[in-house]
């Protein structure tokens, strides 16, 4: 297994144990575990996580998201914290979360509640970031809250809509907080992002047969993406 503290990094979205095994065969460095990808990914069950954990040696970042939006009611947030605790007890050690207020600011209280439950595990702030009204302010808040990655396409729409903006923001990165480029990312977009100084990449449909969520991950496509991520 590669040292994920070293760049570059290829992360692949997985929905099942079969996905995880295929992504590992193809050379992925890390996996994001979700269910309900049709709404952007929700928290997987403990049972699904356990099956995926048994299928791969790779690091797993587990989605903590109760609904298809970027907000959370108090009851949802409490239930999500309970789910996070159960996932940690099942062996989860890395996570993905993110919340916005109705006004489009980072919801510090909601994110802090989840971050406290998963601490000291590393975690990614997901694409709620792309819907924040002030990206620079949002970056600073997420950094203060303790995430080590922000998943972004550079715009509310998927890549390539935000490609230029994301490249321009590469200089915001610090040793403690890095961009994870994703959201409709294709292998063809990776070289431009690499040239800008972004080195962590998040692929979903692009590594599946026919580019479809209902088809399996193609280990050969993951392998080809791995070569591009490495600059080959």
Return all residues near 86 (Cβ < 8 A) that are at least 6 apart. Answer: 46
Distances 132 to 125, 139, 209 between C-alpha atoms, Å: 12, 10, 33
Percent of the chain past pLDDT 70, that is, above it, reads 97
CATH topology for the 9-229 domain: TIM Barrel (3.20.20)
What does the alpha-carbon distance between residue 1 and residue 109 come to, in Å, rounded to a whole number?
Answer: 36
Please report how many Cα atoms fall inside a 13 Å half-sphere around the Cα of residue 13, on the Cβ side: 32
Is residue 126 within 8 A of residue 183, CB to CB? The reply is: no
Please report how many Cα atoms fall inside a 13 Å half-sphere around the Cα of residue 180, on the Cβ side: 28
- Residue 216 DSSP SS3: coil
Domain spans, the chain: 9-229
Q: Quickly state the pLDDT bin for 232 (edges 50, 70, 90).
A: low
What does the alpha-carbon distance between residue 26 and residue 189 come to, in Å, rounded to a whole number?
Answer: 19
Is residue 177 within 8 A of residue 184, CB to CB? The reply is: no
**Structure tokens given for 66:** 């109760």
Q: Quickly state the pLDDT bin for 34 (edges 50, 70, 90).
A: very high
Q: Quickly state the pLDDT bin for 195 (edges 50, 70, 90).
A: very high
What does the alpha-carbon distance between residue 183 and residue 180 come to, in Å, rounded to a whole number?
Answer: 10
**Structure tokens given for 25:** 């065969």
1-11: average pLDDT: 68
Nearest to 11 by CA among 202, 224, 189, 219: 202
| pLDDT per position as a tens digit, 107-144 | 999 999 999 999 999 999 999 999 999 999 999 999 99
What does the alpha-carbon distance between residue 172 and residue 178 come to, in Å, rounded to a whole number?
Answer: 8
The predicted model scores a pTM of: 0.95
Phi first, then psi, for residue 198 (nearest 5°) are: -95, 135
């Amino acid at each position: 297994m590669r040292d994920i503290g070293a760049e570059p990094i290829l992360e692949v979205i997985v929905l099942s144990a079969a996905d995880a095994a295929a992504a590992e065969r193809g050379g992925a460095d890390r996996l994001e575990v979700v269910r309900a990808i049709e709404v952007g990914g929700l928290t997987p069950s403990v049972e699904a996580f356990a099956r995926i954990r048994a299928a791969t040696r790779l690091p797993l970042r587990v989605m903590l998201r109760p609904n298809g939006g970027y907000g959370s009611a108090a009851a949802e947030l409490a239930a999500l914290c309970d789910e996070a605790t159960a996932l940690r007890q099942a062996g989860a050690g890395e996570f993905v979360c993110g919340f916005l207020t109705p006004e489009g600011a980072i919801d510090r209280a909601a994110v802090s509640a989840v971050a406290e439950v998963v601490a000291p595990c590393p975690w990614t702030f997901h694409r709620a970031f792309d819907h924040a009204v002030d990206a620079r302010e949002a970056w600073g808040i997420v950094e203060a809250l303790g995430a080590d990655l922000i998943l972004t396409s550079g715009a509310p729409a998927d890549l390539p809509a935000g490609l230029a903006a994301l490249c321009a923001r590469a200089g915001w990165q610090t040793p403690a907080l890095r961009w994870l480029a994703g959201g409709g990312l294709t292998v063809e977009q990776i070289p431009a992002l690499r040239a800008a100084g972004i080195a962590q990449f998040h692929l979903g449909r692009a590594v599946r047969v026919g580019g479809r969520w209902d088809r399996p991950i193609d280990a050969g496509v993951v392998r080809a993406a791995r070569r591009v991520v490495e600059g080959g």
